[in-house]
């Protein structure tokens, strides 16, 4: 009763054809008489045959498997990006192998490297990394998600930080703010730079106060958000703060609270990232949500098309940088609770 594995051979026998023909049917493409094809397909169905991926991989060198290299598993955005990657992979019948991306770049060369059709890298610091080493001498298709590399061979799928920042400031402007403080992330991060640009453009477009004194720098942490906000308070006055991320926004709120300033009544605050904590802090924190799931989907989609092109000997025609739009999440920290206060400030 124990029927081992059902192989292409069994199918061939049942259908009265050769294994070569069965293989042809399985791989669509080639010409097979429709009568034969039908017989084979029926045999497959009746026997409940499914092709052995390992044998196929050995023969063809491809495995329908992509390698996902993650720098830090506990990064805030990983899970949502994973959702997108996995969904797309699943839909296209690909498998996803997950490993830690060793900072040193080694650890990828170990067994398992072969037969990988492509690579996705998620990291905060890809620009420091030699990706061609990761891609190997076979120069496997590789895309970065949520991380940037200058190497134009590798597409990068990123949130549109510029547009997201613009959105944040626009929201504050719409709400009636005029003096928007900005707490930037570290200047050497591409994301920081883009968010600053978005801030500046929106300030200009909406005719808000342009003043270098309104800009401060932190390093993404609560503590530096707090300190940056203190410096802003000393130096100038403002009616709102746009923080480069949610942690710094929370630090800023701490500082405001110490100065007896209430959020959003006295100062509106908006963050960036839309981390889970936005819904848990009080007041709940408005923020800019990155399209994480979509990033994952698009990254996987891009990778699959790279793989396709490579298999067909075409050269890749993908953009180097793909930016997906962010969306605004309004919460209490930017609510217009006291219309008057704001009017006063605008008219003064």
Partner DNA sequence: ACATTTAATGGTATCGATTACAATGTAAAC
Partner DNA sequence: GTTTACATTGTAATCGATACCATTAAATGT
**Is residue 262 at the binding interface for a copy of itself, with CB under 8 A as the rule?**
no
The span of 20-28, 79-87, 194-202, 319-327 binding a copy of itself (CB under 8 A) equals 79-87
Relative to beta strand 118-122, strand 95-100 is unpaired
The answer to whether 82 contacts a copy of itself (rule: CB under 8 A) is yes
222 contacts a copy of itself (rule: CB under 8 A): yes
Choosing among a copy of itself, DNA, none, which partner's interface includes residue 28 (Cβ < 5 to 8 Å by kind)? none
- Residue 67, classed as helix, strand or coil, is strand
Q: What are the E-state strand segments in 93-190?
A: 95-100, 118-122, 142-145, 156-159, 180-184
Q: Could you say which of a copy of itself, DNA, none residue 82 binds, taking C-beta under 5 to 8 angstroms by partner kind?
A: a copy of itself
The binder of DNA chosen from 1, 2, 35, 74 (CB under 7 A): 35
* 3-42 residues near a copy of itself, rule: CB under 8 A: 5
Looking at beta carbons only, is 261 or 281 nearer to a copy of itself? 281
Q: Which residues lie closer than 8 Å to 266 by C-beta, 6 or more apart? A: 239, 256, 341
**Binding to DNA by residue 106, rule CB under 7 A?**
no
CB-based burial of residue 74 (10 Å sphere; 0-12 exposed, 13-18 middle, 19+ buried)?
exposed
Tokens of 129: 């990394």
- Which of the ranges 27-35, 85-93, 180-188, 189-197 carries the binding residues for DNA, by CB under 7 A? 27-35
**One-character DSSP codes across 286-318:** BEEE--HHHHHHHHHHHHHHHHHHHHTTPPP--
If contact means CB under 5 to 8 A according to the sort of partner, which of a copy of itself, DNA, none does residue 19 touch? DNA
| Bridge partners of residue 42, in order along the sequence | none
Q: Does 59 bind DNA (CB under 7 A)?
A: yes
Site string for a copy of itself, 92-131 (x = CB under 8 A): -x-xxxxxx------x--xxx-xx----------------
Q: Does 290 bind a copy of itself (CB under 8 A)?
A: no
CB contact burial 27-60 (16+ within 10 A = b; e otherwise): eeeeebeeebbebbeebbeebebebeeeebbeee
Please say which residue, 58 or 152, places its beta carbon nearer to DNA.
58
Q: Which does 35 bind (CB under 5 to 8 A by kind): a copy of itself, DNA, none?
A: DNA
Instruction: Reduce the DSSP state of residue 216 to 3 states and report it.
Output: strand
Backbone angles phi, psi at 144, to 5 degrees: -105, 135
Contact residues for a copy of itself, defined by CB under 8 A: 5, 50-55, 57-58, 63-64, 68, 73-76, 78-80, 82-83, 86-87, 90, 93, 95-100, 107, 110-112, 114-115, 222, 247, 250, 254, 257, 275-277, 279-282
């Amino acid at each position: 009763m124990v029927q081992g594995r059902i192989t292409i051979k069994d199918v061939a026998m049942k259908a009265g054809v050769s294994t070569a023909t069965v293989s042809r049917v399985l791989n669509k493409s080639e010409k097979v008489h429709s009568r034969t094809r039908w017989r084979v397909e029926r045999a497959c169905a009746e026997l409940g045959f499914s092709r052995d991926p390992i044998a196929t991989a050995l023969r063809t060198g491809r495995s329908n498997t992509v390698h996902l290299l993650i720098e830090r598993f506990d990064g805030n955005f990983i899970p949502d990006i994973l959702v997108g990657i996995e969904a797309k992979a699943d839909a296209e019948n690909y498998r996803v192998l997950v490993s830690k991306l060793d900072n040193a770049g080694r650890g990828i060369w170990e067994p398992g490297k072969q037969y990988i059709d492509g690579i996705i890298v998620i990291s905060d610091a890809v620009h420091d990394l030699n990706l061609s080493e990761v891609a190997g001498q076979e120069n496997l298709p590789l895309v970065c998600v949520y991380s940037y590399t200058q190497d134009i061979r590798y597409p990068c799928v990123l949130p549109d930080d510029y547009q997201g920042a613009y959105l944040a400031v626009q929201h504050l402007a719409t709400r009636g703010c005029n003096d928007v403080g900005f707490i930037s992330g570290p200047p050497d991060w591409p994301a920081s730079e883009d968010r600053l640009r978005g801030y500046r453009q929106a300030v200009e477009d909406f005719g808000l106060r342009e003043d270098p004194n309104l800009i401060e720098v932190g390093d993404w942490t609560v503590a530096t958000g707090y300190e940056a906000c203190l410096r802003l308070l000393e130096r100038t006055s403002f009616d709102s703060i746009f923080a480069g991320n949610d942690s710094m926004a929370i630090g800023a709120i701490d500082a405001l609270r110490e100065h007896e300033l209430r959020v959003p009544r006295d100062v509106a605050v908006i963050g960036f990232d839309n981390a889970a904590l936005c819904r848990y802090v009080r007041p709940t924190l408005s923020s800019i949500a990155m399209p994480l799931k979509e990033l994952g989907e698009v990254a996987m989609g891009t990778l699959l098309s790279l793989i396709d092109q490579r298999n067909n000997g075409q050269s890749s025609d993908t953009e180097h940088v793909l930016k997906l739009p962010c969306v605004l999440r309004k919460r209490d920290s930017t609510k217009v609770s006291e219309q008057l206060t704001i009017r006063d400030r605008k008219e003064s």
